[in-house]
Amino acid sequence: MLYHQAKELCIKNRRIDSGRFYQPASGLPLGAGLLIRDCVLSLPHQSERRFETGLGVAIVLTHECDIDQKNERHFNDLLLVCPIMFLDDFCEEMENESGAGAWGGILPAIANDDVYRALYLPPVPDYAQCPELEGGGIVYLNHISPCRIQWVENLQQQAICSLSAIGLRAFDAKLQNHLFREKAASLWFAR
């Protein structure tokens, strides 16, 4: 962990008790609130009109009933995930773009849920064994990515931990606010 001050700043500005945000993933099915590693993600290329793919840590958005392979139904071959940007990577990118300490202005706002399109995930517990998330991570809610169920080949090894009921409620509220907030522009009811 390189940016200890950034971690402390985020934890200080969190409204939710970070110690109650997660629970172990063992025994849970692939579904909403699960943090997984080695997830196939699609990323918009920075300068070209195309997507790139890569592996990373992500949080699952799709409800487990909709992707349960025991349920024979249409449209259960894909799940939606959001990549998690490690706090150290976020801070380094901010400093490379805008100079030393550039993350100091935006991180408290993200941690305090003042930025609607981003969510700070607190550090995962030690049992999760994910040193990359020692400082926590940022979920950018405009970056929802599809992933094939078959690409999650070994859930027992790929699962890091899960959001607890408290964590999932906070995450769901954040998503609902981001996706279903009333439009700023006035719309017609009829013509």
Distance, CA of 162 to CA of 125 (rounded, Å):
11
Can you tell me the mean pLDDT for 104-126? 94
Domain annotation covers residue 53: yes
pLDDT at 176 > cutoff 70 = yes
Domain annotation covers residue 188: no
Q: What is the pLDDT of residues 14-72, one digit of tens each?
A: 888 888 999 999 999 999 999 999 999 999 999 999 999 999 999 999 999 888 888 88
pLDDT at 191 > cutoff 70 = no
Distance, CA of 59 to CA of 64 (rounded, Å):
13
- CATH code for position 98: 2.30.30.110
Distance, CA of 178 to CA of 187 (rounded, Å):
19
Domain annotation covers residue 185: no
Please list the residues that pair with 44 across neighbouring strands: 51
Vertex 108 angle, CA 39 and 174, to 5°: 50
Confidence (pLDDT) at 74: 86
| Token pair for 120 | 């700070």
Domain annotation covers residue 186: no
Residue 85's pLDDT band (boundaries 50, 70, 90)? very high
Mean of the per-residue pLDDT values for the chain?
Answer: 93
pTM: 0.92
Confidence (pLDDT) at 18: 83
Domain annotation covers residue 30: yes
Distance, CA of 143 to CA of 22 (rounded, Å):
22
